[in-house]
Amino acid sequence: MRIGVHPNNLHLRLARLWPGSFAKLDPEFVPYGEGRDTARLLESGRIHFGGTGSTPPIEADALGLGVQYIAASAPRPANGAIFVRVDSDIQSMAGLAGKRVSLVDGSFHTYLLARSLEGEGLGLADVTRVESAHHDSLEELLEGRVDAWVAMSPRLERVSGRPDLRLLVRCGGTIPNRSLFWTLERHALPAETIRTITDELDRVGREVTADLRKAAELLAAEENSDGDADAWERVLRSRDFSVGPAGAEIIAEQQAEADTLHRHGHFSTGVALKRSILSA
């Protein structure tokens, strides 16, 4: 079983480091750059499943790739936020009209931005989205090249409380912000394999929760780790690592996101999601 692992999915990143993970599936952990690459790697057969935020699988379905949802994490309300400079005259999301917003477009950032703008009667078309994947977004914000920044964990925890930033919005009740674990129909993963994956994700999550210090030290020891053990432990304490099957509630959440992004013009046509393997 080839399991895709990118830096922003801490659950699979930890599974790769955790002793005995996915042993029943003879795992090969395949590293890659970011969640938006997941569909391409699934399509090519380089990986059999991966984990991302909520938006990449919808993007894959919009391309007609035939997504099958496997499992979903608990909501992660602390994992995303929108910041402005503390000296900015932008006091609320309404103030972003006509402004430049740095984000990883096509990730859950896009959905968080859309829903947050919608609450003020605005849409994605009312801001200029600036791709941040290959730039230092914090530097761009502080130097005035963008007006707002959609940040996510683990960097979010490191900038929270900075005196030169002001928080506009947290994920909180705006979006569920789950991790989704998914594949493509073409891989035809049997229902028993899907159950094994889900159970193993949940087992690793429970063991991580029971020994956060060990998990933090494993992350800190990685080559080019972006934090020490203390910093990683703070990140890990902020999230619920429980995982369950991607049932009807998850599909409904995803459909609501797909409809929202279509309403905002991110998708030119509607995207109709299929049920998960186990609920089909």
Q: Determine the 3-state secondary structure of 274 from DSSP.
A: coil
pLDDT digits (tens, 9 = 90+) for 55-68: 999 999 999 999 99
> How would you classify the pairing of strands 100-103 and 128-131?
parallel
pLDDT digits (tens, 9 = 90+) for 221-264: 999 888 899 989 998 998 899 999 999 999 999 999 999 999 99
d(CA 52, CA 39): 10
Q: What topology does CATH give the domain 2-74+178-263?
A: D-Maltodextrin-Binding Protein; domain 2 (3.40.190)
- Average pLDDT over the chain reads 94
Banded model confidence at residue 278, pLDDT cuts 50, 70, 90: low
Q: Which fold has domain 80-170?
A: D-Maltodextrin-Binding Protein; domain 2 (3.40.190)
Report how far residue 121's alpha carbon sits from residue 223's, in angstroms, rounded to the nearest whole number: 45
Question: What is residue 79's predicted lDDT score, i.e. its pLDDT?
Answer: 86
Residue 149's DSSP bridge partners are: 83, 102
**Could you check whether 2-74+178-263 and 80-170 share the same CATH topology?**
yes
Percent of the residues in the chain that have a pLDDT greater than 70, as a whole number: 98
Give the separation between CA 103 and CA 259, rounded to whole angstroms. Answer: 20
| 87-108 confidence digits (pLDDT tens) | 999 999 999 999 999 999 999 9
What is the per-residue pLDDT across 208-220, written as a single tens digit (0 to 9) for each?
Answer: 999 999 999 999 9
Mean pLDDT of 175-202: 96
In this predicted structure, the answer to whether residue 194 has a pLDDT above a threshold of 50 is: yes
DSSP class of 49 = B
How does residue 113 score in pLDDT terms, banded at 50, 70 and 90? very high
Helix (H) or strand (E) holding 139: helix 137-142
At residue 280, the pLDDT reads 46
Say yes or no to pLDDT of 276 above 90.
Answer: no
Domain boundaries, the chain: 2-74+178-263, 80-170
Whether residue 16 has pLDDT greater than 90: yes
DSSP code per residue over 168-217:
EEESTTT-----EEEEEGGG---HHHHHHHHHHHHHHHHHHHHTHHHHHH
- Which residues lie below 8 Å from residue 217, measured CB to CB, with a gap of 6+? 229, 232
Q: What pLDDT, in 10s, does the model give residues 140-183? A: 999 999 999 999 988 888 888 899 999 999 988 789 999 999 99
Q: With 0-12 CB in 10 A as exposed, 13-18 as middle and 19+ as buried, what is 126?
A: middle
CA 31 to CA 203: how far, in whole Å? 21
The stretch 16-36 carries a mean pLDDT of 96
pTM for the whole structure: 0.92
